[in-house]
Structure 1
Amino acid sequence: MSIKRPLSLAIGCIVAASGAAQTFAQEADNTTRALEEVVVTAERRAADLQSTPIAVSVFSQKALVENDITDVTDLSGFAPNLVVSGQEEQSDIKIFIRGVGTNNPTETGDQGVGVYVDGVYAARAQGALALMYDLENVQVLRGPQGTLFGRNNTGGAVLLQTKRPGNEFEADMSVTYGSFNRQQISAGFTLPVLDNLSFRIAGISDQDDGWVKAVSTDPRGTEHNFSGIDIGRSANVGQRLNYSDVRSARVTGLWDIRDNLSWVLSYETFTDQGVGGLLLNPVLVKEGKYEAFIDSPVSKKMKSDVLRSTVNFDITDGINMQYIFGGSDLHREQVVDQDAGVISRFQEGRTEYQDSVANSHELKIQNIDSDKLEWTVGAYFFTEETGIRFDFDGQGSWLQGGNSFIQPARGAESAAIYAQVKYRVTDALTLTGGIRYTDDLKYDRGGRNVQDCENEFIRPTLGGSALSVFEDFLDNRTGAEGADGLDDFTGKERVRGQCAATLRNDVEAESTQTTYLARADYEWGDSMVYASVATGYRAGVIQDGGQSTDPENSTNYELGYKLDTGAFRWNSAAFFMTYEDLIRSGFDEDLNQIVNSNVAGAEIGGLETEITWRVGQGVFSLAGAYLHAEYTDYIVDSAGFGTNNTPVLDENGGETGFYDLAGNRLPQAPEYSVNASFRWDFDTSLGVITPRINVMYSDEVFFRDQNENRSPINNMINDVEQTGFYYGNPAGQEAYAKVNLGVTFDPGSDWTVDLFINNATDEMTQSSASVDNGTAEGFPGRFSAPRTMGVRFNAQF
């Protein structure tokens, strides 16, 4: 394979550079202050980062604040091979590590990268968007984590550890004011109540007015295909667009019941009423115009309540047991203008309701008394059920008129047992082995797709009527159908001539998998080298029409090197991963729906490196990556919009209508990426002034498997259809660099002031694309924010 040569070169670089780096670091100025020790929980127990043989990046709360990382999406690019983007329709996040992730974060699928908060798996990652406050740290684990962590970790895991209360009073606060009337305030304090009981109370509010302007003139003109129905289209110019309105609060209690028994219990509530990323026309974005014609009542109401509990019990002086419980309840209502005055057809999507309830239970037992042998065993059980109704009105690429997708009970159950053993053969050599057995069940009970409505649209203000479905719905409590003539979802009499449930989605799909880890690490002096093989597994997805897929599987081979001389820290890894049975989506003309199938295989290899170097009064840090992620086996029935994909021929040399995507790059997988930062402390008579600079570079990325090299220009401007072709990367993002600047003033008291400029060069970058209508600069999409600046006041008490 073509991937093997660059991978072997990468491994050679590690081996050759390790000796040079060690010599260089040891010759560094011995008077320089040492870097702080970093503690991680990547192996489900506290350990020093440099003695943990896993590729893991760590961000303290101070680093998060300094880099203005307020949610998971802001982490994108700060860790090697980490790409995070949002999705407007689901208000969800899509996380990719080393090119592994998913474009289906809906209730039918799962992330390929697990998100865990205080050890609890976040079932619907929407609630994780606002959790970047009052944390001990954030850890990004790269590569499959299929042994010790709960669910679906084919690509890696993101661990968020919240701050726990101590036994002394302490408080901190941060206030930010910035561009677009951004107003953020976060605070937390620890309150000891008794010698053995204390509480931590923290909260955050983050609001701004948004950077997209609502315009009153439709750039498309007046002639559109609305199926002859006058919907009274008008622009909502009086509302804010692309704005944030997020609030969250957390209460954590720590009770040391006895010397060997403690209990940590936290409750967290989160609300999001902001309107996230809208489709923008890249032609206008290039001109510096950030505007949208909104003819739908866009809105979002999302609330999440989470309970997390950890009971910690020392069974003996050398054996510890933990019972970890997590429970979450998420409710969401949302209206999205899916055309935003860019697509030449009216499109509106509405989540009438989403209610997701999840619970998880984990019992973990491990020894804590031996340097020679470490072992961990555990059992895990997880349940989730979502009731959701999503309506679509308009003319789409495959949906026409009014459509409603009503799923009263889509759910998942997952049970697992696991064990991991770590044995120190000598003072330098350690061997680790782990295994996990998982049983997953996915189901849909009573789900229906509703189409062919008499009035075409569903929303009454668009000319539709109140939805009344005449097909039977299963009773979720009994699984039985209602009596003839009655709709057992509404309990009302069925009336012909209104809407029909065209698809029944009832299904149950079960899958089992055994995943494993084998690793050896060797320490000498200030260095460590490790080699490992690990597997990951992502449960299959269910889909409309009562269909389901098989799981995805990944196997990762990795060689890593770590060095820490006190003032110089270098961690690197070379890896090769096989990725099998990838789940991809395609349109089925017979079923008139999107269908998910296990249709692809891929190979992924690369090199990652992280350097932290304290030089005099300064600190230099670097996170860089090379990634070769391509499909090895992928046949599709559409070449996309480009001319770069190879048609599959029959035995006579004729075209079959299928195309071979082998050799194409995986989406969201830049070949090269770098994040470099430098800061320097200047001592003055007034205090310490610390300027800093951060530079982020990302190579070209594709958003679609087809890796198109052109797209037709078929957008409508002032009633005139645009024609021709755009050549380049129409459904992706070209290579770019961003610069962030800041300066902190510390007078030596309990407060600091921080001035910052994010995206100082005003580089506009796209994170997704809609391929409904092409423009002269590629497909419309969602863009990251332009240049912003602000001032932040931090205080500790």
Structure 2
Amino acid sequence: MKPHHTHLQQFRRSGIRLALASALLSGGISAALAAEEPKETESKKTASEQEAQPSLGIVTVTATRREASLQSIPVAVSVLDGKKLEQSNLNSIQTIANEVPSLTFRQQGGNKDSSIFIRGVGTISTSPGIEPTVSTVIDGVVYARPGQATLDLMDVERIEVLRGPQGTLFGKNASAGVINIVSKEPSADTHAYVDTSYYEGGEKRIRFGLSGTLVPDLLYASINGLWADYDGNVKNVLGGRLNGYEREGARAKFLLTPNEDLDITLIADYTHGTNTIASVPYQSRDAAFNQAISPVQASKGNRTVRSDGKNEITDTNQGISAQVDWRINDYTLTSITAFRTWDNTQNTSSSPIGNNYDLSRITTAYPATRDRGTVDSKQFSQEIRLASPKEQFLEYVAGIYYLKSKTDEVYQRNATTLAGANLVGRSDYGVENDSISLFGESTLNFTPELRGILGLRYTHDDLSFDHIRNSNVPSGIQAAVRSSQPLRKGTTSASEYSGRLGAQYDLSKDVMTYATYSRGYKGPAYNVFFNMFDGNNDTNALAPETANSFEIGLKSAWLDNRLIFNAAAFYTKYKNYQANAPENVGNNVFIYRLINAGDVSTRGVELDVNAKATSRLSLSGSLAYVDARIDNLNCPPTDASCQVNGKPLPFAPKFKSVVRANYAIPLNNGYIVDVGTDYTWQSKQQFVLIPQTDATIQEAYGIWNASVALSTQDGWRFAVVGRNLLDRSYATTLSGNATVSHRFVPRDDARYFGVQVRKDF
């Protein structure tokens, strides 16, 4: 925990904030995050060329497992430019959630419990025996656990958010969508950079990289590194700050080109991070309870806690991969081999006693718990696929995919009762998963305007678990720490099909429409966790989750590619929805158990607009209407009050939008000034599946950001960034009950400013 710096307090009291805000707001326009920017910079064009040729560039994506124009593929995709994400201090999947209206992120106590949602559907569970519903893919490598991708991203070229089931080409854990992250290729010319930034709150970031040719016409390489440190935005009244981090990492990429038909890409990466976590009292219906934890007062804008325990999470994420692309008579054979490890250690504590708490006002029988959990996860994957030549009647991508993953966890809890008894329990458990798939997707070019789409994937899964618990709690007591449990094991398997069927039709050379049906599949699961139930329910495997999705879309370009308008309408029905639900296991003790919760559905409309209004002014906007709801929930037998059919799914705001703009001002000396703004707004959202109460609803809010940057011809860039200029407080997760709820405080919870300096060599 780090002290709050005196110079920072002086900075806040000074008039610098007003000067920065004035500079930012005077531009009235922000750095656009859309990837529709032209590749050629304004400084390389003459003034007359800029005025005569304003247009949007071609965006290339790999959403169909081969390079194609974004406007030509029958998939709803949002594309974010990696360079502009860095400039906006958006450095992880969590921080980009506000940039894509259909995307939301659940921040929980630890990275291993965090989740991604697309179109209102995702996975909430602490069990290692369940897959994510949204797949994260980095340079062709699928990350088996969502927590693996929560650390900082490095050297990103672009992020593609594929909305809706993508099980044909991306696998069984993509039944709601895919986050496809593509890194930059090593450059032929020698290029180096150093990028430093400082933000209020003691946040410091340094990025650096070097790229170029090692052996002419044979070997190219790039290496990138980062270091970041942040004090945190939650004050501990007992001293220090929480909700901060310290991270470091490195990434190396080598491109070997023995001949013009063979590319070999080798990647090695390492990231390490330590987060100090905190959930703060959010609001209370019991004033007496608020007084019991004085001086911390529960409120919507609260950013203080009182804790003498250790709340810290440490992650180490590393891996290597090799991709071989061999071009044979216009066919491309691709092989991707990867091995990854992820180590996670989580230390948390809750409501410690003995620190001036009024115990007579604490109703829970276990006011103090201290938990320590470790995760050791390993995965090996191999993918081989063949892409046919383009511009043929039959175009296809077909292949085979294999994944073997193993996760071992140890979780120990010390719980202190009001009577002073110390209860101790430790669980050792693990999960192994073997999955093999055969897949293929084809495009049938019936005419130059009409194309058919046919894809199919066959997946076979083998899943097993083991679990043992040792405890000093006598048998039969239902408590925060449960009684000992002997070694138990379970094994299951499943074979399922997923696929896609559809058609696309070109109304003109710039307007394309499509209609598709997709079937998604997420494999079987086990509910494996610390307080695993003593009966047989948790040893039974959950059935696979399946999705049937219908989508129609329009992609269009107008005014000589100065305006792009895309739209998609969708309906998806999920069966055997895998979710956590609370169950009373005795003595009014509730445990969240993973179950096949029933049927849920999501439907809605998504709109994306990009415009090059003038050679200097770029505009973009996105809007999503998502109605994700519970159709028929299998309520736990012990919860007669579970009546949520027809209510919204958690983490699914009905409306969400983002608008951006960027105005470039070329100066006479060759310098360029970029000024701009972006604004994100979303309607209220529920954070809990059962029970849904007002205490776990985040009300509607909007976030306004702005930036001003000066770029020089000799590679310098100076920028001032303002985040959350309207100073809106909001939560990324709410949890609790009728007495008190807690929220996780995002980085952008309050207004802050920062400066960035970058030098390219």
Q: TM-score with structure 2 length normalisation?
A: 0.83
The answer on whether the counterparts of 2:309 and 2:370 sit within 8 Å (CA) in structure 1 is no
Residues 547-577 of structure 1 deviation map (CA, whole Å, 9 limit, x = unaligned): 3200111111001001123111111100111
Tell me whether 1:551 sits opposite 2:535 in the alignment. Answer: no
Query: How do residues 72-151 of structure 1 correspond to structure 2 at under 5 angstroms?
Result: 72-104=93-125, 106-151=127-172
Partner of 2:663: 680
d(CA) in 1 for partners of 2:424 and 2:485? Answer: 10
**Residue 247 of structure 2 aligns to which amino acid in structure 1?**
V
Tell me: CA distance 1:455–1:291, structure 2 relative to 1, closer, same or farther (3 Å). farther
Amino acid aligned to 2:547:
S
Q: How many Å separate the matches in 2 of 1:624 and 1:119?
A: 29
CA deviation profile, 1:731-780 (whole Å, cap 9, x unmatched): 121111111111111233312111111111111111222325623xxx11
Partners of 1:83 and 1:396 lie apart in 2 by: 37
Question: Match for residue 414 of structure 1?
Answer: 435
Query: Which of 735, 742, 752 lines up with 1:788 in the alignment?
Result: 752
Aligned to 2:681: 697
**Residue 522 (structure 1) aligned with residue 537 (structure 2):** no
**Residue matched to 2:317:** 304
Structure 1 residues 266-321: Cα deviation after superposition (integer angstroms, max 9, x where no partner):
1100101121343343464647542111121223322121111101122x212221
Determine helix, strand or coil for the equivalent of 1:148.
Answer: helix
The 5 A counterparts of 1:234-273 are 237=239, 239-273=240-274
**Equivalences for 1:454-473 in 2 at 5 Å?**
none
Q: Where in structure 2 are the equivalents of 1:247-646 lying within 5 Å?
A: 247-282=248-283, 284=297, 286=299, 288-314=301-327, 316-339=328-351, 346-394=367-415, 402=423, 404-445=425-466, 447-453=467-473, 501-502=484-485, 504-523=487-506, 524-543=508-527, 544=532, 545-565=538-558, 566-590=561-585, 593-616=591-614, 617-637=616-636
- What amino acid does structure 1 have at the position aligned with 2:574? Y
Indicate if the aligned counterparts of 1:745 and 1:754 stay in contact, CA closer than 8 A. yes
- Distance change >3 Å, CA 748–CA 513, structure 1 → 2: same
SS of 2:148's partner is helix
CA distance, structure 2, for counterparts of residue 550 and residue 403 of structure 1 = 33
Write the distance in 2 (CA, Å) between the matches of 1:174 and 1:688.
18
Deviations 1:469-526 (Å, cap 9, x if unpaired)? xxxxxxxxxxxxxxxxxxxxxxxxxxxxxx9532544111212210110121111131
Equivalent residues in 2 for 1:23-42 (5 A)?
Answer: 31=52, 33-42=54-63
Offset of residue 91 of structure 1: 4.5
Structure 2 distance, partners of 1:432, 1:281, is: 49
- Corresponding position of 1:734: 699
Pairwise CA distance, 1:202? 0.5
**C-alpha distance in structure 1 between counterparts of 2:473 and 2:83, whole Å:** 55
Distance 1:80 1:174, change over 3 A: same
Gaps of 5+ in 2: 1-49, 285-296, 533-537
**Equivalent in the alignment of 2:648:** 665
> Structure 1: which 5+ runs fail to align?
1-28, 217-236, 465-498, 641-656, 710-728
Contact 1:667 1:705 in 2 (8 A): yes
CA RMSD of superposed structures (Å): 2.7
Instruction: Kindly provide the amino acid, as one letter, of the partner of residue 240 in structure 1.
Output: R
Supply the distance in 2 between the matched residues of 1:696 and 1:442 (Cα, whole angstroms): 41
For residue 110 of structure 2, give the secondary structure of its aligned residue in structure 1. Answer: coil
- For residues 238-267 of structure 1, the C-alpha deviation after alignment (integer angstroms, 9 at most, x for no partner) is x43111111111011111123322211111
Read off the aligned partner of 1:250 and give its amino acid letter: R
Q: Give 3-state SS (helix, strand or coil) of 2:736's partner.
A: coil
C-alpha separation in 1, matches of 2:143 and 2:90? 19
The 1:658/1:186 distance shift into structure 2, 3 A limit, reads: same
* Alignment match of 1:61 (pick from 82, 88, 95): 82
1:752 matched to 2:711? The reply is: no
Per the TM alignment, residue 31 of structure 1 is displaced from its structure 2 partner at its CA by: 3.6
State the identity %: 21
Does the C-alpha gap of structure 1 residues 338 and 309 become closer, same or farther in structure 2, counting only changes over 3 Å?
farther
Q: Which moved more, 1:138-147 or 1:126-135?
A: 126-135
What letter matches 2:229 in structure 1? Q
Partner secondary structure for residue 524 of structure 2: coil
Q: 1:507 to 1:56 in 2, by over 3 A?
A: same
* 415 and 274 in structure 1: CA distance in 2 versus 1, 3 angstrom threshold: same
How far apart are the structure 2 equivalents of 1:336 and 1:329? 23
Counterpart secondary structure, 1:766: coil
Count of aligned residue pairs for this structure pair: 667
Q: Helix, strand or coil for the counterpart of 1:50?
A: helix
Shifted more, 118-127 versus 615-624: the winner is 118-127
| Amino acid paired to 2:261 | N
Task: Deviation per CA, 1:384-408: give whole Å up to 9, x if none.
Answer: 11111112233799xx963545334
When the two structures are superposed, what TM-score results if normalisation uses the length of structure 1?
Answer: 0.79
Q: Distance in 1 between matches of 2:604 and 2:630?
A: 15
User: Residue 658 of structure 1: CA displacement?
Assistant: 5.3
Match of 2:71, SS state, is helix
Match of residue 761 from structure 1: 726
Q: Please say if residues 317 and 369 of structure 1, whose CA atoms lie closer than 8 Å, have aligned partners that are also in contact.
A: no
Structure with larger RCO (C-alpha < 8 A, sep 6+): 2
CA shift at 1:707, angstroms?
A: 6.4
CA deviations over 1:194-246 (Å, ceiling 9, x no partner):
12012110111111111111113xxxxxxxxxxxxxxxxxxxx2x43111111
What is the deviation of 1:90? 4.3
Q: Is the 8 A contact 1:310 1:325 kept in 2?
A: yes
